[in-house]
Amino acid sequence: MSKRHISLKDLANELKVSISTVSRALKNHPDISPELTLKIQKLAADWNYTPNPLAMGLLRQQTKMIGVIVPDIVTHFYASIISGIEEVAKQHGYYIVIASSNESLQKEIESVENLLKSRVEGFIVCLSQETNKYDHFEKLNSNEIPLVFFDRICESLDVPSVVVDGVEATKKITRHFYENGCKRIAYISGPEHLNISKNRKVGYLEGLKECGLKFDPQFLVTCNLSTKDATRATRQLLTNKILPDAIFGLNDTIAFAAMKEIKNQGLKIPDDIALVGFTDEFHSTVVEPSLTSVTHPTFKMGQEAANLFFKCIRNGKGFSEKIELKADLIIRESTLK
């Protein structure tokens, strides 16, 4: 097995100088004579020397790795956010290590443990839907390990975060429904401890009030974020004595499940029931009817989260900037009666 990488020592041996001299020459240290500097730099270039990041990491006590924990990785939503994180990380010379919680609290806790063992310098996290206790994150916080939340955040922990304005977005949705003649607007929400569920509910209620509609509890159902349970939730709505004439789901998984179920029941979209999704996956445009949806600036969310992370590293403890991004409502066929 030939030597894969060459070190300062190799250069030093070849040139019969000390390792420190080589190290200094490569950074143009004035202590080294111009001629020697040139000679060393030439050899380094010829031999394609690159510093060993492990040695540097050991010296500086940093791994240049960020742990990223997401509920899943195959969804466009998270994949796109990860891209955003990755872009900013790369600019700072950092790598990201991705772990998927699979929407499981247990796996989330394990991921934190494992990433900690790998000496990641900090975390960028989107909570799993099960997560309702936060000990594993509080531990990080008290150990002053940088932590940034995005999308699904823990409100009881004072850490930096980036979210979209769910209140505003759902208000828009509700008003949009109303302006299209809908009066019986239903909302399929997610687990109630999740900030996104709560915020969107607030916006929903406020939206109803603004439109002069009164809230009917039977139009508010919850589900976990699986397609199966979303289908069940939709069916629950459709077996009400009074049918809703508009439905929006917490995310697009729910919206698509709802769409299928509505069609299955022989109802027409948008004529019988208008439908709105959330997070605007690619499917939204290709489905029929195309789905009105709230676009999430996913890539930007990732970028901002990473930016917060690096601010966090620079500013040290106590830094807890919160960013709230605006989401746009993209109107398509599923709401145009």
Partner DNA sequence: AAGGATTCCGCAAAGGTTTGCGTTGACAAT
Partner DNA sequence: ATTGTCAACGCAAACCTTTGCGGAATCCTT
330 touches its own copies by CB under 8 A: no
Which option in its own copies, DNA, none does residue 239 bind, with CB closer than 5 to 8 A by kind?
none
Q: Whose Cβ is closer to DNA: residue 23's or residue 224's?
A: 23
Residue 323's DSSP bridge partners are 162
Total residues at interface with its own copies (CB under 8 A): 42
C-alpha 15/C-alpha 9 separation (Å) is 10
Q: Which two tokens stand for residue 60?
A: 């500086």
C-alpha 332/C-alpha 249 separation (Å) is 16
52 touches DNA by CB under 7 A: yes
C-alpha 130/C-alpha 135 separation (Å) is 14
82 touches its own copies by CB under 8 A: yes
Q: Which two tokens stand for residue 3?
A: 């030597």
Q: What is the dihedral of CA 114, 117, 121, 127, to 10 degrees?
A: 20
181 touches its own copies by CB under 8 A: no
Cα-to-chain-centroid distance, residue 324: 13
Report in angstroms how near the CB of residue 87 gets to its own copies at its nearest: 9
C-alpha distances out from residue 96 to 3, 86, 145, 149, 314, Å? 28, 7, 16, 15, 18
Binding residue (CB under 8 A) for its own copies from 18, 53, 218, 271: 53
Report in angstroms how near the CB of residue 80 gets to its own copies at its nearest: 5
Report in angstroms how near the CB of residue 194 gets to DNA at its nearest: 38
92 touches DNA by CB under 7 A: no
CB under 7 A: which stretch of 6-14, 91-99, 163-171, 239-247 binds DNA?
A: 6-14
Residue whose entry in the numeric block shows the structure tokens 């208008």? 274
259 touches its own copies by CB under 8 A: yes
3-class secondary-structure state, position 8: helix
118 touches its own copies by CB under 8 A: yes
CB under 7 A: which stretch of 26-34, 80-88, 220-228, 248-256 binds DNA?
A: 26-34
C-alpha distances out from residue 74 to 84, 100, 102, 204, 300, Å? 15, 10, 10, 29, 18
Report in angstroms how near the CB of residue 77 gets to its own copies at its nearest: 9
Residue whose entry in the numeric block shows the structure tokens 């994180």? 85
Q: Which of 105, 142, 148 is nearest to 125 (CA)?
A: 148
DSSP state of 281: -
CB under 8 A: which stretch of 94-102, 147-155, 179-187, 322-330 binds its own copies?
A: 94-102
55 touches its own copies by CB under 8 A: yes
Which option in DNA, its own copies, none does residue 282 bind, with CB closer than 5 to 8 A by kind?
its own copies
Which option in DNA, its own copies, none does residue 7 bind, with CB closer than 5 to 8 A by kind?
DNA
Which option in its own copies, DNA, none does residue 9 bind, with CB closer than 5 to 8 A by kind?
DNA
**Contact status, residue 258 vs residue 230, Cβ threshold 8 Å:** yes
Q: Which residues contact DNA (rule: CB under 7 A)?
A: 5, 7-9, 16-21, 23-24, 26-27, 30-33, 36, 49, 51-52, 54-56, 58-59, 61
